[in-house]
Amino acid sequence: MPVKRRTIKVDALARVEGEGALYVRTAGKRVTDVRLRIYEPPRFFEAFLRGRAYTETPDITARICGICPVAYQMSACRAMEDACGVQVDGQIRALRRLLYCGEWIESHALHIYMLHAPDFLGYASIVEMARDHQKIVERGLALKRTGNELMRLIGGREVHPINVRVGGFYRAPSRAELDGMVDRLRQARDDAVETVRWVAGFDFPDFEQPYEFVALRRSGEYPIDDGRIVSSGGLDVAAAEYADHFVEEQVPHSNALHSRLRDGFNFNVAGESAGRRSAGGTYLVGPLARYNLNFDALSAPATSAARDAGLGPVCRNPFRSIVVRAVELVYACDEALRLIGQYEAPPRPFVDVPARRATGHGCTEAPRGILYHRYAIDENGVIVSARIVPPTSQNQAQIEADLRDVVQQSLALPDDRLTLRCEQAVRNYDPCISCATHFLRLHIDRG
Amino acid sequence: MLVVGVGNRDRGDDGAGLVAASRLGAAAGVPVALLDAAGDGTVLLDAWRGADTVIVLDAMRSGAAAGTVRRLDAGPEHRPAEVAAHLGAGALGVSTHGLGVAEAVALSDALGRLPRRLIILGIEGACFDAGADLSPEVARAVDGAVRLGLEEVADVPRPAR
């Protein structure tokens, strides 16, 4: 008897940033092929950074993404400051973190409300959802607007901020200007708590994965702009050691490189033996990874929102990432309020960063996960080489692994429902394909 | 009354709507909101919040001859969902991110807060290359779009000062 074959194809994935497609092939009760194909054209940013001045990186790399430009600016600045041997801290660092909170609020609100929630409520898009849930959608838009306003206040404008420079900012806001955001951020924090309650009530597929989570970690704070790169498998390294532990490889079906943890590395934290290493070195970055590795560092309102939503310190169900993202929304609003509360305008909005011949590394937590930059510059500060590893390329292999298991578990579903489930599984990652080409059509081939 | 320009000045003809909106606003003496590479379409909803009459100028890619100017009435009495579907079918549905102008119109309608009068003037672009200037035929079409815009403004009773 011939084996029944199915092909599921989504030629242009909706509700993701950028352009990509999905192809799944099954034979009988077995998934034989899963490919997340990113066909958005390559961007060549690393090549055209060569020959530019080290001071230009925040403005050039911000253009990689309209949703997470601050992440690019922060990783770029930190890498250049690392190269030049300069540490930026105090109120300038606090302002960076505050700007970054604006981006987390804006990006998380967009993904939770506009892109991901329609999957759980059975709508094709936010437009159909808005007809039945006006107040909820208005709440999402208000949250997003507050994030945008915070970005405009600190960054000069909400997309591709213009106020960021290597060493700090061109202008620091006054205490009074930041005080003007407090009432809106308090409302946003309340709205974020409501968001956690709302999404916690969705139906989630019973699906868990043995992920290796990778995120930043720094004692005493939830990771945004700084920290060591740690994993649930025991990795604990500085940003400068990134290339020793992660490898990027080209795959024929995607314009985005796939990242993997190098095999054979034996971590040893506090004398403990190496953790489990997932097959093929796949790993996961983003809200789920940050949450699992830094639960203890969440603020009290974020922790209590998580507890009320039934989340413990460990969550391995990627479909619940929408709840975790909402918890991070609470955190970002709360952290912004804390930073504003302790703010004193710095006497000078930046520190000097004189160029020297060196290589620098920067890694910060974009809304979608860790974003690594490395630059080599010469004695005049001219960029000799650049390397940028965005979160979505790091998640690509894991997205494919999730898809394989989701399809395997859901083979009884008819093609249309299986396709929707696959798209939802991809959107769990809030993939930013524009960044990763570095998004989505789905093909399920059942023969 | 509000004039909104949408686009990206650094992407050739995609800047046509921004140029046309600035000139229309100056010529008509009405407020202008320029959404220059402003991200997703939800910022449009924020931009036209509370406005009674809105004229949106944007570049389009519909397959028409470069420099063609199209007028679309997307006000609440004009079946905005269909207008949006029409827009999304290619002309103005091009956006780097999830929500473009078409989705912004449809979302605004679903939320019951479309401006009472919403006119979209689309200018067909030819070249959307990074760093390019406006194409000659598109630069000329901006004049035509501004004239059309002034006619729309003239149709609206001005509030007494």
Residue of A62, A314, A29, A271 whose CA lies nearest to A165:
A62
Conformation bin of residue A259: beta by default, left when phi > 0, alpha when psi is -120 to 50 = beta
Quickly state the pLDDT bin for A441 (edges 50, 70, 90).
Answer: very low
In one-letter notation, the amino acid at residue A288 is L
| Chain A residue with the nearest C-alpha to that of B104 | A127
User: For the CA atoms of chain A, what is the radius of gyration?
Assistant: 21
Which residue is associated with the tokens 């989504």? A10
- Cα dihedral A302→A303→A309→A315 (10° resolution): 110
Mean pLDDT of the residues in chain A: 89
Give A-chain residues touching B42 at CB under 8 angstroms. Answer: 110, 114, 141, 144
Per-residue pLDDT at A250 exceeds 90: no
Residue of chain A minimizing CA distance to B42 = A141
Confidence of residue A439 (pLDDT cuts 50, 70, 90): very low
Please check whether residue A9 is in contact with residue A444, taking contact to mean a CB–CB distance below 8 angstroms: yes
Greater confidence (A210 vs A22) lies with A210
Question: Distance, in angstroms, between B34 CA and closest chain A CA?
Answer: 12
User: In B, which residues are within 8 Å of A160 by CB distance?
Assistant: 37
B95 touches chain A (CB under 8 A): no
Res. A442: pLDDT tops 70:
no
From B154's Cα to the closest Cα of chain A, the distance in A is 32
Report the SS3 class of residue B84.
helix
User: Which of A306, A335, A148, A126 lies closest to A223, judged by CA?
Assistant: A335
Report the residue of chain B nearest A142, measured CA to CA.
B46
Q: What is the mean pLDDT of residues A97-117?
A: 95
Contact A285, A391 (CB under 8 A): yes
Neighbours of B64 (CB within 10 A): 13
Tokens 């009674």 sit on residue: B52
Q: Using alpha carbons, select from A178, A156, A172, A155 the residue that is nearest to residue A71.
A: A155
Do the interacting molecules here have an ipTM over 0.90?
no
CB of A284 closer than 8 Å to CB of A261 = no
Most confident of A337-346, A420-429, B83-92, B117-126: A337-346
Give percent of chain A with pLDDT exceeding 70. Answer: 89
DSSP code of B13?
Answer: G
Q: B96 touching A, CB under 8 A?
A: yes
Measure CA A323 to chain center: 15
Q: Please indicate whether, in this complex, the C-beta atoms of B98 and A130 are within 8 angstroms of each other.
A: no
Q: Which residue in A59, A56, A82, A67 sits closest to A353, CA to CA?
A: A82
Going by the DSSP 8-state scheme, the letter that residue B12 receives in this structure is G
Lowest mean pLDDT among A147-151, A157-161, A413-417: A157-161
Chain A neighbors of B81, CB-CB under 8 A: 127
Which pLDDT value is given to residue B85?
60
Interface size, chain A vs chain B, as Cβ–Cβ contacts under 8 Å:
60
pLDDT (tens digit per residue) in A302-360? 999 999 999 999 999 999 999 999 999 999 999 999 999 999 999 999 999 999 999 99
Q: Is B66 an interface residue toward A (CB < 8 Å)?
A: no
**Which of A39-53, A201-215, A415-429 is most confident?**
A201-215
Instruction: Give B43's contacts in chain A (Cβ within 8 Å).
Output: 148, 158
Can you give the pLDDT at residue A198?
98
pLDDT digits (tens, 9 = 90+) for B52-78: 999 999 998 888 899 999 998 887 777
Q: How far apart are CA B128 and CA B145, in angstroms?
A: 19
pLDDT (average), residues A146-165 = 93
Residue B101 has what pLDDT? 81
How close is the nearest chain B Cα to the Cα of A137, in Å? 8
Residue A267 pLDDT level (bands cut at 50, 70, 90): very low
Tell me which residue of A199, A167, A193 sits closest to A57, measured CA to CA. A167
Which residues neighbour A30 within 8 Å (Cβ) at sequence distance 6 or greater? A408
Of A128, A138, A148, the CB nearest to B111: A138
Whether pLDDT at A164 is above 80:
yes
Chain B hits for A16, CB-CB cut-off 8 Å, are 98
For residue A400, give the amino acid letter.
E
For the cut 80, the answer to whether the pLDDT of residue A409 exceeds it is yes
Contacts of A434 in chain B (CB under 8 A): 96
- Using DSSP's 3-state secondary structure scheme, residue B54 falls into strand
The strand pair at A440-446 and B32-36 is best described as unpaired
User: Residue B96: its pLDDT value, please?
Assistant: 40
Residue type, A275: G
Q: Specify the pLDDT at position A168.
A: 98
**How high is the pLDDT of residue A283?**
94
Q: A75-79, A261-265, B13-17, B85-89 — which one is most confidently predicted on average?
A: A75-79
Question: Could B99 and A114 be called an inter-chain contact, meaning their C-beta atoms sit closer than 8 Å?
Answer: yes
Q: Give the pLDDT mean for A23-49.
A: 81
Is A130's CB within 8 Å of B107's CB?
Answer: yes
For A95, how many CA atoms within 13 A lie in the half-sphere containing its CB?
29
* A90-104, A124-138, A255-269, B81-95, range with greatest mean pLDDT: A90-104
User: pLDDT grade, residue B159 (50/70/90)?
Assistant: low
A172-208: pLDDT as tens digits:
999 999 999 999 999 999 999 999 999 999 999 999 9
Print the SS3 string covering chain A.
Answer: CCCCEEEEEEEECCCCECCCEEEEEEECCEEEEEEEECCCCCCCHHHHHCCCEHHHHHHHHHCCCCCCHHHHHHHHHHHHHHHHCCCCCHHHHHHHHHHHHHHHHHHHHHHHHHHHHHHHHCCCCHHHHHHHCHHHHHHHHHHHHHHHHHHHHHHCCCCCCCCEECCEECCCCCHHHHHCCHHHHHHHHHHHHHHHHHHHCCCCCCCCCCCCEEEEEECCECCCCCCEEEECCCCEECHHHHHHHEEEECCCCCCCCEEEECCCCCCCCCCCCCCCCCHHHCCECCHHHHHHHHHHHCCHHHHHHHHHCCCCCCCCCHHHHHHHHHHHHHHHHHHHHHHHHCCCCCCCCECCCCCCCEEEEEEEEECCEEEEEEEEECCCCEEEEEEEECHHHHHHHHHHHHHHHHHHHCCCCCHHHHHHHHHHHHHCCCCEHHHHCCCEEEEEEEC
Q: Do A127 and B103 touch (CB under 8 A)?
A: yes
Biggest CA pair distance of chain B: 44
Cβ <8 Å between A141 and B45: yes
DSSP 3-state of B69: strand
- What pLDDT is stored for residue B80 in this prediction? 60
